[in-house]
Amino acid sequence: MSPFLIVILVLVFIIIGLIIYNLSIYKKIKTFSNINDKISNLNVLQEFLDTIGKDSSVDNKLEIINNILIEKFAIKYSTIVVFDGAEYVIKASNVNEKHWETMKNLHTDEMFKDSITTATPKYITINRPDEKLSYQKMEMGRAKSAMFFPLYIDNVYIGYWIIESSEPHAFDNIDTSVLGIVKENIVAVLKTVSYQNTIENIYRIDKNTGLNSAEYLYGKGKRIADKYEQSTICMFKIINIEQINEKLGRDTGTQLIIDICNVIKRSISSEYIFVRYMGPKFAIVFSGVDIEGVESFTKSMKDEIESIKIEPKKIGTITKKKKKEEFAIAKTNFVLATYYKGTGLEEVTKKLEEYLDDCDKDESNINFI
């Protein structure tokens, strides 16, 4: 074998070796890249979970999640639309508001109707500069590719999530399995915050006192209390209201309750939460104040409301004949406990209520539990 041929063979082997080595390096880089992507995706999911646990309104949570999607996945536009039972509502979007009417009516587009019916994502893009996406009206320059994801909770269609890009074929190589996981997490968030939304809006206004009902405590009230590390929850009961109603009339008892509430409203800070808890029971959340700071004020408040005297109300044109000294005077029982930020507010109020219901029916003190 000639020396020249030997040199050629050596060079061929070297080239083959380099090719094999480069392929090995490429595979390692790709594997490392995939691991990094998975770690990044896990971080995104963790941010989702952190957002769900935030002490914030439902709409704000959805905005935060949408912003996470836009930032972490380098998405140009992202919009979450939910059907609330009456109409489609945009819950989160970074699309200009002038396009919102189009974005919340995508369910009427024939291309997306099929996606909703089959519960499968739909990817659309343009191939020529003079084309536009089927759902676009007069916005050719905004989006040139999009992915549409119908959203379901327990097999019930509740809306959709759509991501858009200003570049054609922008999602050709995107990892759809990751987006599927993200979609499921959006559904999980919507499912979780739907319960929060119910709590935030279920409370009523008591027509006599103008106070919010107990449900207010566990939604908006809790967010106010959780601005502070600890607060004091006070619950009191007008223990003789039934006797007053029986002896002097329900109208007299109602007026006594109104006067008591007006005294308390005038006495407490706007940061404190005062609700009609149930019947003759009322609750006050002294936000950011410990029990020692409330004790003296509670005693003064109890003395003041028990000094209120209400004359019997007239019934039509006739006044019931009562002894001159007979007035409606409240007798109250107070109980206080500490609430710590982030813990179960309903557990604290439940203990307070149980105490007032189970103690001696004539007890009239200020108690601490």
88, 159 in Cβ contact below 8 A? yes
- Over residues 246-300, the pLDDT tens digits come to 999 999 999 999 999 999 999 998 889 999 999 999 999 999 999 999 999 999 9
Pick left, alpha or beta for residue 329 (phi over 0 → left; psi -120 to 50 → alpha; otherwise beta): beta
Q: What is the 3-state secondary structure (H, E, C) of the chain?
A: CCHHHHHHHHHHHHHHHHHHHHHHHHHHHHHHHHHHHHHHHHHHHHHHHHHHCCCCCHHHHHHHHHHHHHHHCCCCEEEEEEECCCCEEEEEECCCHHHHHHHCCHHHCHHHHHHHHHCCCEEEECCCCCCCCCCCCCCCCCCCEEEEEEEEECCEEEEEEEEEECCCCCCCCCCHHHHHHHHHHHHHHHHHHHHHHHHHHCCCECCCCCCEECHHHHHHHHHHHCCCCEEEEEEEEECCHHHHHHHHCHHHHHHHHHHHHHHHHHHCCCCCEEEEEECCEEEEEECCCCHHHHHHHHHHHHHHHCCCCECCCCECCECCCCCCCCCECCCEEEEEEEEECCCCHHHHHHHHHHHHHHCCCCCCCEEEC
pLDDT at 106: 93
pLDDT tens sequence across 67-119: 888 887 788 999 999 987 778 999 999 998 888 999 999 999 888 998 998 98
* pTM across the whole model: 0.55
Using 50, 70 and 90 to split pLDDT, how confident is the model at 209? Answer: very high
Mean pLDDT calculated for residue range 57-76:
80
Banded model confidence at residue 164, pLDDT cuts 50, 70, 90: very high
Mean pLDDT across 43-69: 70
- Bridge partners (DSSP) listed for residue 205: 212
